[in-house]
Amino acid sequence: MTSGKTFRGAGWAVTALGLTLASVLISAAPASAQDAAASAPAAGSYTPMKPTPGVGMPVDGGIGLQQQYSKLGEYAHWIHDGVLMPLIALICLLVLVLLIVIALKFNRRANPIASKTSHNTILEVVWTLLPVLILIGIAVPSIDLIAKQYKPAPENALTIKITGNQWFWTYGYPDNGDFEVISNMLNLPGQPTINNGVREVGSRPWDGPSHLEVDNRMVVPAGEPIRLQITAADVIHSFAVPSLWFKLDAVPGRINEKVLFIEKPGVYYGQCSELCGAKHGYMPIAVEALPRAQYNAWVLTHPGGAIDGTKAAAAATGPASDALPAVATSEAAPTESAVDAVAEAE
Ligand SMILES: [Cu+2]
């Protein structure tokens, strides 16, 4: 009994000494280091989002533009469907009616003696003015759209650097610790391998359509302007996502810049749209827009990933493998609750 008590007493003494030492060390540490420790973000987590069928992707039998998920896209969609198509349809109908009237009323049998009229002032004024007015009606919203498309991003916008390569995309995040994501098309079951070492489409619950889904998506925050800077490493490619009204050429030795604004979270698919070689048809684009908090968590899953200059504790000490940063996450089998959470978020 006595020895037990002594042992326990010694234990307390050691604990107390340890606590004292720790408090001395903490109080001796510089204040900034303490602040950094307190505000250091926890290690990130990420389960890829399951795309909604028909959203941000082509649909079977679709003939119009894809449903738009950006303000600019909605405006352009309205110009196309609300202004241009009705005008073209009306002009075509008018020409068709005139052709039918002429064919029936002024043929040799119905109208044996041809008119010798060569001038009609009112008619000439009308057929000159009417096309001018139509063209002005088209030019006003068109020029407005062009101006809006080239409006630069606000100063504090997140910058993402996109590089086209033969035949994959890389996405750099200079504002978030300058890590890079390499994005390859998933292989197609039962068909020749397109990308060695990349899994097959359909092997994960969040996989989207074949030919469009990739191993590592370009993840972005939704509801805020993003500055996309686009270039290429070898030949000219083109970064195009139809449902986000976004298409910009990726030219070697040159940086093209354009603002991307995605209204709501989701997965949006596109393809390289500049003939760039043998596997041009196999370098799709998958953009995953997440709420800011989830985007931040995704950033922190990457070694070197940082939010506002603060690196994640786990990520900073993680393996120094920048080549395929998201592989570990995407290869891990998702827990049931994680999949449910993604499903609920939709
Ligand atoms: Cu390409």
User: Which are the contacts of 280, defined by CB distance < 8 A and separation ≥ 6?
Assistant: 167, 272, 274
Task: Please indicate, yes or no, whether residues 205 and 249 belong to a single structural domain of this protein.
Answer: yes
Task: Confirm whether 300 is domain-assigned.
Answer: yes
Task: Please indicate, yes or no, whether residues 197 and 319 belong to a single structural domain of this protein.
Answer: yes
230 alpha carbon – ligand 1 mean position (Å): 12
pTM for the whole structure? 0.73
Q: CA-CA distance, 211 to 93, in Å (whole number)?
A: 40
Task: Confirm whether 66 is domain-assigned.
Answer: no
247 alpha carbon – ligand 1 mean position (Å): 13
250 alpha carbon – ligand 1 mean position (Å): 8
Say if residues 68 and 81 touch (Cβ distance below 8 Å). Answer: no
341 alpha carbon – ligand 1 mean position (Å): 35
Task: Please indicate, yes or no, whether residues 182 and 232 belong to a single structural domain of this protein.
Answer: yes
Task: Confirm whether 298 is domain-assigned.
Answer: yes
Q: CA-CA distance, 79 to 300, in Å (whole number)?
A: 41
Write down the pLDDT at residue 22. 40
Write down the pLDDT at residue 42. 52
Task: Confirm whether 255 is domain-assigned.
Answer: yes
Half-sphere exposure of 54 (CA within 13 A, CB side): 3
281 alpha carbon – ligand 1 mean position (Å): 8
The alpha helices in 223-331, defined as continuous H runs, are 292-299, 313-316, 327-331
234 alpha carbon – ligand 1 mean position (Å): 10
Write down the pLDDT at residue 20. 40
Task: Please indicate, yes or no, whether residues 95 and 171 belong to a single structural domain of this protein.
Answer: no
Write down the pLDDT at residue 117. 86
Task: Confirm whether 185 is domain-assigned.
Answer: yes
Task: Please indicate, yes or no, whether residues 197 and 129 belong to a single structural domain of this protein.
Answer: no
123 alpha carbon – ligand 1 mean position (Å): 52
For 195-242, the DSSP string reads: STT--BTTSSTT---TTT-BSS-EEEESSS-EEEEEEESSS-EEEEEG
Task: Please indicate, yes or no, whether residues 204 and 225 belong to a single structural domain of this protein.
Answer: yes
Cβ count near 279 (within 10 Å): 14
Write down the pLDDT at residue 10. 42
Query: Token pair of 249, please?
Result: 């050429």
Q: What range defines the domain where residue 127 resides?
A: 71-107+123-149
Task: Please indicate, yes or no, whether residues 285 and 334 belong to a single structural domain of this protein.
Answer: yes
42 alpha carbon – ligand 1 mean position (Å): 37
198 alpha carbon – ligand 1 mean position (Å): 19
Name the burial class of residue 171, with classes exposed (0-12), middle (13-18) and buried (19+) by CB atoms within 10 angstroms of its CB.
buried
Task: Confirm whether 9 is domain-assigned.
Answer: no
326 alpha carbon – ligand 1 mean position (Å): 22
Query: Token pair of 56, please?
Result: 């941000």
Task: Please indicate, yes or no, whether residues 135 and 178 belong to a single structural domain of this protein.
Answer: no
18 alpha carbon – ligand 1 mean position (Å): 61
Domain count, the chain: 2
284 alpha carbon – ligand 1 mean position (Å): 9
Q: CA-CA distance, 47 to 66, in Å (whole number)?
A: 26
Task: Please indicate, yes or no, whether residues 198 and 332 belong to a single structural domain of this protein.
Answer: yes
Q: CA-CA distance, 168 to 232, in Å (whole number)?
A: 10
Report mean pLDDT in 10-residue bins for the chain, 346 residues: 41 41 40 42 78 93 92 94 94 96 91 88 94 94 94 93 96 94 95 92 93 95 95 97 95 96 95 96 96 93 84 47 38 40 40
Write down the pLDDT at residue 304. 86
Q: CA-CA distance, 342 to 346, in Å (whole number)?
A: 7
Task: Please indicate, yes or no, whether residues 164 and 266 belong to a single structural domain of this protein.
Answer: yes
183 alpha carbon – ligand 1 mean position (Å): 13
Task: Confirm whether 198 is domain-assigned.
Answer: yes
Q: CA-CA distance, 149 to 161, in Å (whole number)?
A: 18
167 alpha carbon – ligand 1 mean position (Å): 6
Task: Confirm whether 55 is domain-assigned.
Answer: no
Write down the pLDDT at residue 144. 96
Which residues are found with C-beta within 5 Å of the ion, ligand 1? 237, 272, 276
**CATH number (domain holding residue 329):** 2.60.40.420
Write down the pLDDT at residue 343. 40
